[in-house]
């Protein structure tokens, strides 16, 4: 049964152009599904699959108190896989046709005020050694470009041109784009590259821009932990890398930057996805005027995490 899943995942990546992250999520979801069918339901082959098995599986997820968004994602993976199996002739009928996807409430994106971002960017200054210089460069680069965390940690040294003030990152479906760096990011990156990175590299031949204490590329999980520590140090423990992406876009639009330019920098295919930030920018501005720049993080309805 797992062989069929592997063929499906290969098709997603090769024929439909799904990103590695999406394929990985599908792999985890379908592996869990197969384990349930084999262990809990005693299935030995896919032709035995019926809608009752799917219903039992989804009920088991609810009993384990999975979030509705997670159940919806797992349901989507199963439906996509069943459709593939029908097309491949391994299933006569699609047992997932009558299975409804759970209703998911809209994701509530969060943006930080400019004052909060400034405090966060300054936080690594209290950390001695090359890690402090690296962390400052990472935070500045992330906020000044609105990159996704996967794009940030995938940067190589050759992807950054400090003379031109740009960085070239790889987004969804391997689309490359050049993004401008702020003066603060250029300065922070310059300081990091002038000596701190060499100390972390320890002579290793590693192309990655941002290195951990072992001289290897900083991972997504590693950056999340770094960001979490700094966020907690300024009293904003629920900040995520995507919070900085939201904040960059909202602040850029709030300063009057062209919506099309923000769309290009973020790598959005549709400008409609970027337009949500006009509302976020307005809300941040209103809050700042009411509370004199001391507003907490704002919860703003309008877009899904996956879409922006």
User: Residues with catalytic annotation?
Assistant: 148, 172, 242, 245, 268, 277
Instruction: Strands of the chain (E only): list them.
Output: 110-111, 160-161, 166-170, 176-180, 298-299
Q: Where are the alpha helices (DSSP H) in 41-113?
A: 51-63, 68-87
Q: How many helices (H) and strands (E) does the chain have?
A: 14, 5
Phi, psi (rounded to 5 degrees) for 155 = -65, 140
Closest CA to 184 of 165, 199, 156, 208: 165
**Which CA distances in Å does 235 have to 144, 223, 230, 297, 299?**
22, 18, 9, 11, 17
Question: Encoding tokens for residue 126?
Answer: 């209290």
Q: Which residues pair with 169 in a beta bridge?
A: 177
The per-residue DSSP string of 237-256 comes to: TT--HHHHHHHHHHHHHHTT
Cβ(152)–Cβ(245) below 8 Å: no
Cβ(143)–Cβ(184) below 8 Å: no
| 62-70: long-range contacts, CB 8 A cutoff, minimum separation 24 | 68/102, 68/103, 68/104, 68/105, 69/104, 69/107
The 10 Å Cβ neighbour count of residue 87 is: 11
The label of the residue with tokens 């997603």 reads 12
């Amino acid at each position: 049964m797992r062989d069929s899943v592997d063929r499906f995942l290969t098709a997603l990546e090769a024929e439909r152009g799904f990103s590695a992250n999406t394929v990985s999520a599908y792999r985890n979801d379908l592996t869990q599904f197969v384990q349930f069918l084999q262990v809990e339901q005693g299935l030995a082959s896919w032709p035995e699959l019926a809608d009752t098995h799917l219903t039992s599986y989804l009920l088991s997820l609810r009993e384990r108190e999975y979030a509705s968004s997670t159940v919806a994602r797992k349901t989507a993976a199963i439906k996509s896989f069943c459709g593939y199996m029908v097309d491949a002739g391994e299933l006569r009928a699609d047992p997932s046709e009558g299975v409804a996807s759970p209703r998911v409430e809209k994701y509530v994106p969060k943006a930080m005020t400019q004052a909060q971002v400034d405090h966060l960017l300054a936080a690594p200054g209290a950390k001695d050694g090359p890690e402090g210089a690296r962390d400052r460069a990472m935070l500045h680069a992330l906020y000044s470009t609105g990159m996704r965390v996967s794009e940030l940690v995938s940067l190589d040294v050759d992807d950054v041109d400090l003379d031109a003030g740009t960085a070239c990152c790889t987004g969804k479906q391997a689309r490359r784009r050049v993004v401008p760096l702020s003066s603060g990011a250029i300065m922070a990156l310059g300081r990091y590259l002038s000596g701190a990175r060499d100390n972390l590299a320890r002579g290793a031949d590693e192309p990655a821009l941002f290195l951990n204490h072992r001289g290897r590329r900083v991972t997504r999980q590693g950056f999340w932990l770094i960001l979490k520590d700094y966020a907690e140090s300024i009293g904003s423990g629920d900040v995520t890398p995507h919070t900085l992406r939201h904040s960059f876009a909202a602040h850029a639009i709030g300063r009057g930057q062209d919506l099309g330019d923000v769309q290009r920098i973020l790598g959005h295919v549709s400008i409609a996805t970027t337009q949500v930030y006009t509302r976020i920018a307005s809300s941040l501005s209103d809050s700042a005027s009411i509370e004199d720049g001391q507003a907490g993080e704002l919860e703003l309805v309008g877009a899904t995490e996956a879409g922006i």
